[in-house]
Structure 1
Amino acid sequence: MKAVEMLDYGAPEVLVDTNTAPQPVLKPKQVLVKQHATAIDPYDVKFRQGLMGTDKPTPLIPGSSVAGVVVAIGSEVTEFAIGDRVAASTHLKSYAALVAVGQSLLAKIPAQVSDVQAAASVLGAQTGYQMIMTDLAIQPGETVLIHGGAGAVGMMAIQLAKRQGAGQIYTTAHGAGAAAIRAIDPTIQVIDYQTTTLTEAMPDGVDAVLDTIGGETLRASCQVLKPDGRLVSLVDSVDDPRVTQSYLQASGAQLAALLALIADGQVTLLIADERPFNAANVRYFQTLHHVVGKLVLTFD
């Protein structure tokens, strides 16, 4: 089977092509997906670098996003059939022509959503969805600060906070990222983090914060969080009862709800570039920084 293998943890050069990867063996509640597209996510880069706290033996097949068509189903699969277009977030093994995925992680891709869009939505955008809809549970009229608005998590979170009826929405961005945010929604208050502090931009404070950066940014965010406010961080924690740390809890139901919004045109995904799936393109995409929009690899 065609795949991109990771020979060891380290630099991009550890990612190599193979045509001899074994085909996945289905468990009863899994489906076999023929890959049409997979996205590059920061998680993938950190995993390759050995920064995700894993000791999984190498070589292995990395990759965290699946978008394709069902070609086989396990004996206990009840929700999917051969021929269904599906998407899912996986921790590993999406850099391959065929991927076995548990049915609880899968969502059907609406006809209005392309494979590229689906692959681009499953990790960062799904995380943004969970943070706004569940973890922060944004309410109408609330003021919200979303860090990293030009990233996949932040850009989806901004749009969903607006859809939930939030009052003023603030985000941090610079340069091309700031321009992209304003193009999607000119009502968003974009804070140039290189020239303006959070306390200068939000002297009255905010009700809710989504932190995608951590460190000093998290501590500065606590300074503008109202006494009864709440902050969710994806990367860090501090000794403050208003602060919780969270992470994506991927599910098919959650992803299906997000894909329905994309299909209806209620939220937008930005695609920065798409290239054919091979190790050279995976390596290239993984070396890019501060790209506005998703990087997607497509299969033959």
Structure 2
Amino acid sequence: MKGIYLTKYGRAEEAFEIREIEKPKPGPNEVLIKVECFGLNFADVIARRGLYPDAPKNPALLGYDVAGTVEAWGSDVHDFEIGDRVAALTRFGGYAEYAVTMQEGVAKIPENFDMDLSTALATQACTAFYCAEDCVTLHKGDNVLIHAAAGGVGTILVQIAKHRGCTVFGTASSGKQDYLKSLGVDYPIDYTKEDFSGRIKEILGGNKLDVVFDSIGGKTFKQSYKLLQPGGAMVNFGAASQLNGGKIAAIGMAINFGFYSPIQLLMSSKSLNAVNMLRIADYKPRVFKEVFTGVMEMVKTGVINPHIAQKFKADQIAEAHALLESRKSVGKVVVRW
């Protein structure tokens, strides 16, 4: 089978190599999937830049999101049949024609649901669901800020927040505001042209935000925290701002998050939540399975409806990475075999 290996850190056009490798065999608790397509996540870009400590050392087979059909399974797996259409979270290894993963990370795709769209479910939709349904409770009328609202996770966060009756503020770069409006974002904000903090203060007057979902980190996180009212919650699930420089810039980004005391949070009744779905999958597979089941229910009822930014062929992996890194994509970037 073929696999796309990260062989060199840096620019996308110099980073990857397609190699012939052996088909993996499922362990007792694993499912083998014949991959039809896989999705990119921003963590892939960070890994390609050499800034993601969780990524395997080069040559590395990246990839979290795959969609395809069940090929085989281990002795402890009983819920699947040959040919079942599934979406799955892979603990790396997704950039290949076949992938294995734990059975808790595999879910059957609803009938007639598009295979390409399914690549947005295991990582991005599960992240959005866990952030919005497990970390916090969204109430009707809540003022909610979603950074990078036109991205894969951001799109689904908007859909869940609107389903819960929230007023949504969404940030995105230029050219994406019409897309945000189509999702139902009440106040689209172009962060390249105006200060999101000042704009939200202007809109809310003396009021503040109830929940912020942040994947940018650094100064954006600190500014957003200041917009929270007592009882508000920050949910951070990324640090995309670290791509603005190398490892030294990443250190500066970490400092720019700010420093928070438990006493400070107690007195204001604010909460800080940080989410890494790989950690949930690794240490709480039962919880991950429950989240994935919840995602599929929202897919069936139409609450969650991912958007495809663009589709690429496997030998266009560099172009796919470049698009995602440019932050010009809207929705999920998909690669097909």
Q: CA deviation at 1:55?
A: 6.6
TM-score norm. by structure 2 comes to 0.82
1:17-66: CA deviation from partner (whole Å, max 9, x where unpaired): 11x21211221010110001101111111112111114733223111111
Letter in 1 for 2:208: G
Letter in 2 for 1:262: V
TM-score norm. by structure 1 comes to 0.91
Structure 1: 5+ residue stretches without partners:
none
1:107-161: CA deviation from partner (whole Å, max 9, x where unpaired): 1111131110101222223211211111122122322111111111111111101
1:206 aligns with 2:203: no
1:163 and 1:239, CA in 2 relative to 1: closer, same or farther beyond 3 A? same
Structure 2: 5+ residue stretches without partners:
240-256, 282-287
Q: Indicate the residue corresponding to 1:246 in structure 2.
A: 275
The answer to whether the Cα contact below 8 Å between 1:176 and 1:292 also exists between their aligned partners in 2 is no
Which secondary structure state, in structure 2, belongs to the residue aligned with residue 176 of structure 1? Answer: coil
Distance 2:99 2:55 in 1: 21
The answer to whether the Cα contact below 8 Å between 1:202 and 1:224 also exists between their aligned partners in 2 is no
Map of 1:1-300 to 2, 5 A cutoff? 1-12=1-12, 13-18=14-19, 20-54=20-54, 56-166=56-166, 168-185=167-184, 188-193=186-191, 194-196=193-195, 197=198, 198-203=200-205, 204-235=207-238, 238-239=259-260, 241=265, 242=270, 243-248=272-277, 249-250=280-281, 251-278=288-315, 281-288=316-323, 289-290=326-327, 291-299=329-337
1:246 and 1:83, CA in 2 relative to 1: closer, same or farther beyond 3 A? same
Which secondary structure state, in structure 2, belongs to the residue aligned with residue 158 of structure 1? Answer: helix
Distance 1:39 1:211 in 2: 21
* Bigger share in helix: 2
Show structure 1 runs of 4+ deviating over 4 A: none
RMSD: 1.9
Distance 2:103 2:238 in 1: 28
Q: CA deviation at 1:266?
A: 2.5
The answer to whether the Cα contact below 8 Å between 1:108 and 1:256 also exists between their aligned partners in 2 is no
Distance 1:123 1:97 in 2: 19
The count of corresponding residues between Structure 1 and Structure 2 is 294
Distance 1:223 1:58 in 2: 40
Which secondary structure state, in structure 2, belongs to the residue aligned with residue 46 of structure 1? Answer: helix
The answer to whether the Cα contact below 8 Å between 1:64 and 1:92 also exists between their aligned partners in 2 is yes
Deviates more, 1:23-32 or 1:3-12: 3-12
Distance 1:110 1:48 in 2: 33
Identity of aligned residues (%): 29
Letter in 1 for 2:321: Q
